[in-house]
Amino acid sequence: MPKKYGVKEKDLVVSHVVNLVLTGKLRSGDRVDRNEIAQQLGLSRVPIQEAVVQLEHDGILSTQYHRGAYVERFDESVVREHHELYGMLTGIAPASSLPRLSSLPISCETPRCCNCWASPTRSLSTWRHRAMT
């Protein structure tokens, strides 16, 4: 494989292994042969080991002492669980900033499309948007 300048070898290995998992060439529970990957990509074992550490941290591989690296379970339930976790985490940031925003004056940027109403006693969570008739 020709050398790609500006791209870390470890990142090449990570993308290669993830591609093998996503295409089904490596399945859940399969052992990852580091020597074979090194030979396929024309790299030494050092970036392979660095990639295995990153993939283990990302939850794609798991390593067993003196046994090697294995592909973690990867099916619909795992993808759904990660998606739900991502959704919850991306909702925490706006929810935590909501109390700080409720004290700011807010006006509708597009008054022609809707009528926004609020009173000083209402918070942002009780704003209502009504379509103009």
Cα distance between residue 76 and residue 92, in whole Å = 25
Confidence category of residue 93, pLDDT binned at 50, 70, 90: confident
For residue 125, pLDDT over 70 is answered with no
Q: pLDDT value at position 53?
A: 93
The DSSP code for 84 is: H
Cα distance between residue 59 and residue 57, in whole Å = 5
Cα distance between residue 26 and residue 102, in whole Å = 50
- Here the tokens at position 48 are 């392979």
Q: pLDDT value at position 126?
A: 43
Name the least confident of 35-39, 42-46, 48-52, 112-116: 112-116
Task: List the chain domain ranges.
Answer: 9-71
CATH number (3.40.1440.10, 3.30.1490.20, 1.10.260.40, 1.10.10.10) of 9-71 reads 1.10.10.10
Q: pLDDT value at position 6?
A: 67
